[in-house]
Structure 1
């Protein structure tokens, strides 16, 4: 009997891609969600089992208890793969307890939260000589003067805790253009009990966004990696990737591998960088400490990170591998890219012919798969239902 893999969050395409990446190798995948609603990833033919667990935020104690009770019934320790930041926060808070029953790459409790938290991540990066955008706390003395002199407008009002901010405001940050607007957004976050920081915008269009995607073994050494280049995001300019290509950028390995190894990180990580259009320097923006949204692209170019994670944790690691050439392959989340392109064209940041040119290359889709079509059909019906309900209202 092989170790099972419990995947948290099949109501989003990250969970779906993890299920597929493991299922193709005949591994027993368990989709764990808090509701039957919208869990289109569990429709995959590669999903072996479905379970319902308490909501990770409404009752985190019961959520952890239920996961542990499930693991106790298994012949071997299951591998646990959270596919959303909010799941990862709860797992990290109870890491010492849950590691008794699950195989999880990270062994240091609190490290996941440290790299996910914008404030602590920036301090860690600065301590290790990694560039980060100039940032101010909202309680700084002479804040207005410092913003005008150092940060300058437009600038960003960013959350310290991204998952909670996104849940509250349905966006990753606020872009502000004046002191008055900045104070308004700070107050908005304060009223929602959310901590924010003020940050300089690194110059450059969305195609100046890059990623370093990697796996570090239990000795905190990089064993697998590649790099990517974002083309389009949604929401535009400060959103999640909807069209990204694999592109070899060796400088990102030099920066990213050294940093992650220095902080003794273990498991999968994706560092997002932005290349300053004026200086050419790379700035660390954030770290995704769970499987990334363009995991299907990484799989297509030869790096199956959920499977790499599984094999190492069961004591049978796969050979190290890197993709150090340009494959010309793109990740494409069609649904949100259509929305993004509409806004890029509306704001005259892109032209329609220019967008079309980017599509002529091999693609890895967020949801669609000819060999596993049911999740895409389920997603389509789900979205049609939402549009219909809005129209009725």
Structure 2
């Protein structure tokens, strides 16, 4: 594991404003979120006071030694926006000074974008929150599968061919003309607001399988039916970056995903930093065209059949695996955002090529699943130049043990359910 001593010596050149805290903003119940813990650590190690919204007082984030205070606030993601905004403002007044907001999910990112004036206002009683200012509607559109697909078409960015059925007859017509297999996903990101049509990414092998699955989708199916990119002919890449108010990259990183959970369709379990100037240029060009500012987490699939990178997902926020990426000057995307929003310089530096990231509690089952599938990632280095673990850190052990305590029994059951769901999506829809 890349230890804190090495990280701190690299980051000694950074000069953050320690008078401006950070607040982890999350809505919904997902207490075992390693990204939130990583954000607390990465700024807390620089002396920035860190606060976090947590499900309760006993989540991994809540027990981090780098956290100044947790604000337990159980939410579901179905609350009215006004209630969530009021809750954030109450927390801001308790912190008592301007604070950088760090959203960890789409609901939080969209809420912040759509209520910028209220959250940044000087009449808040504490000076207001700090966050990248962006066109209010853009994060919601980017988080939507349909919205993202339309933006890609508008700006010449390649994405998988897709259909957005509005009725049962649309699905029947698609089944009669499409090439199978296809992939079904929920059209909108906010599936916690209602029962999702599909559970994650579902591969459908035949027209009959699609028609059978669609029986439960209702009269207006909220799905996207997407071209299937064969695993044996593709490779998954990720881009994490921070863009300033002029949509210019202040920190840009590229890497390749080795394993995910559920297999081939879920969150990153194992990944490497790999230099890819072509991919970095593609991301920078797209962000400039759409005028986005802030942190991005992109998932792309390289299709070896036509040599193109196809954009699958655009997360307008910090990704859970962002700590895979750090520059030689000690900058990651969360540090870059805090520095920029507080008027500090963001040091330049090359990314740590060959560095590896491992999420301990999901990488082992992912490894077993990938070995059975025979999937390989040619661009992954044969040996890592260093490894960042998602949970275990020598200077902050309590989040790791808290994760184990909350994960072992219910977590193992959840992993099994995810695996079964993934298998059903690939086999019983034939």
Aligned partners of 2:36 and 2:320 also within 8 Å: no
1:153 shift after superposition: 1.0
Q: 56-65 or 108-117, which moves further after superposition? A: 56-65
Note if 1:318 corresponds to 2:318.
no
Specify the alignment match of 2:283 in structure 1. Answer: 256
- Relative to 1, partners in 2 of residues 1:300 and 1:168: Cα closer, same or farther, differing over 3 Å? farther
Aligned partners of 1:206 and 1:237 also within 8 Å: no
Specify the alignment match of 1:386 in structure 2. Answer: 410
3-state DSSP of counterpart to 1:42: coil
Note if 1:345 corresponds to 2:375.
no
Looking at structure 2, the residues matched to 142 and 164 of structure 1 have their Cα atoms a distance apart, in angstroms, of 22
Looking at structure 1, the residues matched to 412 and 183 of structure 2 have their Cα atoms a distance apart, in angstroms, of 35
Aligned pairs (5 A) from 1:199-348: 199-205=226-232, 208-299=235-326, 302-323=330-351, 327-348=353-374
Aligned partners of 1:29 and 1:47 also within 8 Å: yes
Per-residue CA deviations over 1:92-143 (Å, capped at 9, x if unaligned) read 3433322322111133212111111110111111111100111111137765
Looking at structure 2, the residues matched to 171 and 126 of structure 1 have their Cα atoms a distance apart, in angstroms, of 26
The one of 65, 69, 72 equivalent to 1:52 is 72
Specify the alignment match of 1:178 in structure 2. Answer: 206
Aligned pairs (5 A) from 1:34-49: 34-36=55-57, 39-49=59-69
RMSD: 3.0
Looking at structure 2, the residues matched to 167 and 41 of structure 1 have their Cα atoms a distance apart, in angstroms, of 27
Structure-1-length-normalised TM-score:
0.87
- Relative to 1, partners in 2 of residues 1:56 and 1:109: Cα closer, same or farther, differing over 3 Å? farther
Looking at structure 1, the residues matched to 355 and 413 of structure 2 have their Cα atoms a distance apart, in angstroms, of 37
Looking at structure 1, the residues matched to 304 and 139 of structure 2 have their Cα atoms a distance apart, in angstroms, of 30
Specify the alignment match of 1:88 in structure 2. Answer: 109
The count of aligned residue pairs is 382
- Relative to 1, partners in 2 of residues 1:8 and 1:207: Cα closer, same or farther, differing over 3 Å? farther
Looking at structure 2, the residues matched to 315 and 12 of structure 1 have their Cα atoms a distance apart, in angstroms, of 29
Specify the alignment match of 1:71 in structure 2. Answer: 92
- Relative to 1, partners in 2 of residues 1:124 and 1:19: Cα closer, same or farther, differing over 3 Å? same
Q: 251-260 or 165-174, which moves further after superposition? A: 165-174
Bigger RCO (CA 8 Å, 6+ sep): 2
Looking at structure 2, the residues matched to 49 and 361 of structure 1 have their Cα atoms a distance apart, in angstroms, of 35
Looking at structure 1, the residues matched to 309 and 130 of structure 2 have their Cα atoms a distance apart, in angstroms, of 34
Looking at structure 1, the residues matched to 279 and 412 of structure 2 have their Cα atoms a distance apart, in angstroms, of 45
Could you tell me which runs of 5 or more consecutive residues in structure 2 were left unpaired when the two chains were aligned. 1-17, 122-127, 415-430
Q: 331-340 or 241-250, which moves further after superposition? A: 331-340
Aligned partners of 2:183 and 2:227 also within 8 Å: yes
Note if 1:126 corresponds to 2:150.
no
Structure-2-length-normalised TM-score:
0.80
Looking at structure 2, the residues matched to 243 and 181 of structure 1 have their Cα atoms a distance apart, in angstroms, of 32
Aligned partners of 1:166 and 1:172 also within 8 Å: no
1:162 shift after superposition: 3.0
The one of 400, 404, 410 equivalent to 1:376 is 400
The one of 13, 25, 34 equivalent to 2:46 is 25
- Relative to 1, partners in 2 of residues 1:167 and 1:373: Cα closer, same or farther, differing over 3 Å? farther
- Relative to 1, partners in 2 of residues 1:188 and 1:166: Cα closer, same or farther, differing over 3 Å? farther
Looking at structure 1, the residues matched to 290 and 96 of structure 2 have their Cα atoms a distance apart, in angstroms, of 34
1:21 shift after superposition: 0.7
Could you tell me which runs of 5 or more consecutive residues in structure 1 were left unpaired when the two chains were aligned. none
1:69 shift after superposition: 2.0
